[in-house]
Amino acid sequence: MKKTFAEKSINKTFLRMVTVLTVTSTLFTGCNQKSEVKETEKILTKLPPVAKVAQIDDENVPTDKRVIYLTFDDGPNRGTENLLKILHKRNVCATAFVVGKHASDSKRQKEDFEKMRRDHLIELANHSHTHAHNRYSDFYKNPEAVVNDFNIAKDSLKLPGKIARTPGRNIWRLNNINVTDIKSSSEAANRLKKAGYKVIGWDLEWKPTNKMTLKGNHEAMLKKVDSIFFNDLEKTSRHLVLLTHDQYLNDSDSINELDLFIEKLQKSNRFVFRKVSAYPKINEILN
């Protein structure tokens, strides 16, 4: 899709700005929420204070901005509490694609799920009930069982809508986007769409190390964000869905890297943050 924001005439400047971040620039967020200060653990309280957030019209994105959708899969899990603390420190919104079974696996997970449900910066979306028991090929061989698994999660967690993400697959099923990374999963994805689910994948993943911590650093991720926008690789122009997992936020380095990533996106004054429910055309009735 060809872009408009005088993109190609200024994109080289846009790409170079990754490392030239204006400290005095105004912070933007698409959440339209008041800033909330909370006590955090030592690894978070050491970070510098955050500037006051200026609000924008959540229905319209300025033509010189790009939209980032922070999404976190598999919660509630290790690191969920740290995720919430980072979001409140930076006053940004995100979407948690939760697993039904994880919400009741332990007392801690039950408590974390209720924290997420009450938190105005997090919206909850469906990531199945069983997470395919981590046997993805077998799971997608039975499309009817896949739909049933998502229905169980929706009902048991009392999720408010039908935004979903498939476990182990980067699949999109919206009216205007139809993408399946592994074709043997296509029929199950089509059945989810027929059942009314808006299936959303991701444009960029922050992957883990073998120790299940965030791999690489925030600077590398910032370069990847700019590269996607510069090369028109996002599924929808000017909108980028980032995937990672809250269980990777269980060590001080990972927590710090995610915090710095968000902070520098904010200070660049080039991005706004939204929940996935604000993704373009996601609220259309599916054909």
In a domain, 2, yes or no: no
Contact 120, 33 (CB under 8 A): yes
User: 180 in helix, strand or coil?
Assistant: strand
Q: Is residue 228 part of a domain?
A: yes
Domain count, the chain: 1
Does 141 map to a domain? Answer: yes
Among 130, 134, 69, 73, residue whose Cα is nearest residue 105: 130
Residue 257 in any domain: the answer is yes
Q: Is residue 41 included in any domain, yes or no?
A: no
The pLDDT profile of the chain, 287 residues, written as one tens digit per residue, is 444 433 433 444 444 444 433 333 333 445 644 444 444 345 555 544 443 333 444 457 888 999 999 999 999 999 999 999 999 999 999 999 999 999 999 999 999 999 999 999 999 999 999 999 999 999 999 999 999 999 999 999 999 999 999 999 999 999 999 999 999 999 999 999 999 999 999 999 999 999 999 999 999 999 999 999 999 999 999 999 999 999 999 999 999 999 999 999 999 999 999 999 999 999 999 98
| Residue 30 belongs to a domain | no
For 57, counting Cβ atoms within 10 Å of its Cβ (0-12 exposed, 13-18 middle, 19+ buried), the class is exposed
For the record, the structure tokens of 206 come out as: 């922050």
| Residues contacting residue 212 through CB under 8 Å, at least 6 positions apart | 247, 248, 250
Q: E strands, 174-235, where? A: 178-180, 198-199, 204-205
Q: Which domain holds residue 118?
A: 64-278
* DSSP run (H or E) holding 245: strand 239-245
CATH of the domain at 138: 3.20.20.370
Q: Is residue 55 part of a domain?
A: no
Angle formed at CA 273 by CA 3 and CA 18, multiple of 5 degrees: 65
Alpha-carbon distance 192 to 260, whole Å?
36
Domain contains 3: no
Determine phi and psi for 37, rounding to 5 degrees. -100, 130
pTM: 0.83
Q: How far is CA 239 from the centre of its chain?
A: 12
